[in-house]
Amino acid sequence: MTSEMRVRLLVLLGVIGVVLAASWGRSGQETTEAVSDSAATDQSAVGSSFDYVQPIPQSLALDAGKVALGRKLFFDAILSADNTIACSSCHSLSKGGADSRVHSIGINGAEGSINTPTVFNSGFNFVQFWDGRAATLEDQVDGPLNHPKEMGSNWKQVTDKLRANVDYRADFARLYHNKLTPENVKDAIATFERSLITPNAPFDKFLRGNSAAITARARHGYELFKSYGCISCHQGVNLGGNMYQKMGIMGDYFQARGHLAESDLGRYNVTHQEDDRYAFKVPGLRNVALTPPYFHDGSASTLPDAVRVMAQYQLGRSVPEADMSDMVEFLYSLTGESPKAAHD
């Protein structure tokens, strides 16, 4: 099979991925969970759910009390063993929902082993973490809280500390019939995280019919994004986050980079299936201009670097400088409004 045929196959698989993503959304995944009527209207303005991409809803119907409680927990280092690390330590709401580091720093100065993904729009992802080991945002909370290099805590320690706090006891008693439990802590944090959407990017306005919302170069960049085959993996509301893909389809990325680490095995670490070796959840591209460095290993420091690597190892192509510039212009148009809940 020639390289061109393989790229065409990838595009076809991407179309299938869009259909599957829409199906997962209708069956109860977080992508369409509790979307308000106004958001549904926005979706209908750009066609069916089988379109390649859709704009971010302008609002979600979420419990305001739980969002507020989850926000308080998100910023509280009480969740960590030594009261020094909060969710916001690695997911800064002023840095695009990430932390601008190759690897985040946890308790006692411990360095993580994988690049921290953004928390913005994470409710639209079909699974959480690069390797997809958490099915939901609620499940995701367990990971950092218990990890010895992140928060280094456990649920007994966390709930004991929260119950000793009169304000937290009152909050949970008001919002949850069974009061303060690990499940309710996770529910509150996940509800807040779902609220961290970034609507009204220039590209969203373009999708809703305003052709002048993005520059001519960005429009050309979007056409190139589709014609090169990038959209075979980056589609849906998040322009990604709805499928797995192997890192290095058209070339051995890891051999070229060297120094193979356990985190490079990706989905294989979860399933131990050979087909999942080097496979990762495709990251969403929303607000990507705000969240360098890129990839699970943080090896690309700029957007042009990231586009070149993706073109070479995922599509088997090189990108002329003019095309690169326009595609990066398109990627900048994906920066949306800062989440409202971040400023409450």
pLDDT digits (tens, 9 = 90+) for 272-297: 999 999 999 999 999 999 999 999 99
Model confidence pLDDT, tens digit, residues 177-190: 999 999 999 999 99
> How far is CA 344 from each of CA 65, 72, 210, rounded to the nearest angstrom?
12, 10, 30
Model confidence pLDDT, tens digit, residues 105-130: 999 999 999 999 999 999 999 999 99
Superfamily of domain 3-59+199-340: Cytochrome c-like domain (1.10.760.10)
Question: What pLDDT does 126 receive?
Answer: 97
Judged against a pLDDT cut of 70, whether residue 33 lies above it is answered with: no
Which of 30, 138, 150, 193 is an active site residue?
Answer: 150
Q: Look up 150 and say whether it is catalytic.
A: yes
Q: Can you spell out the DSSP letters for 27-73?
A: TT-GGGTTB-HHHHHHHHTT--TTSSB-PPPS-B---HHHHHHHHHH
Judged against a pLDDT cut of 80, whether residue 14 lies above it is answered with: no
> How far is CA 144 from each of CA 50, 116, 141, 155, rounded to the nearest angstrom?
34, 11, 6, 12
- Report the SS3 class of residue 190: helix
CATH topology of domain 64-196: Cytochrome Bc1 Complex; Chain D, domain 2 (1.10.760)
The DSSP code for 118 is: P
Residues of the chain with CATH 1.10.760.10: 3-59+199-340, 64-196
The pair of structure tokens assigned to 12 is: 């076809």
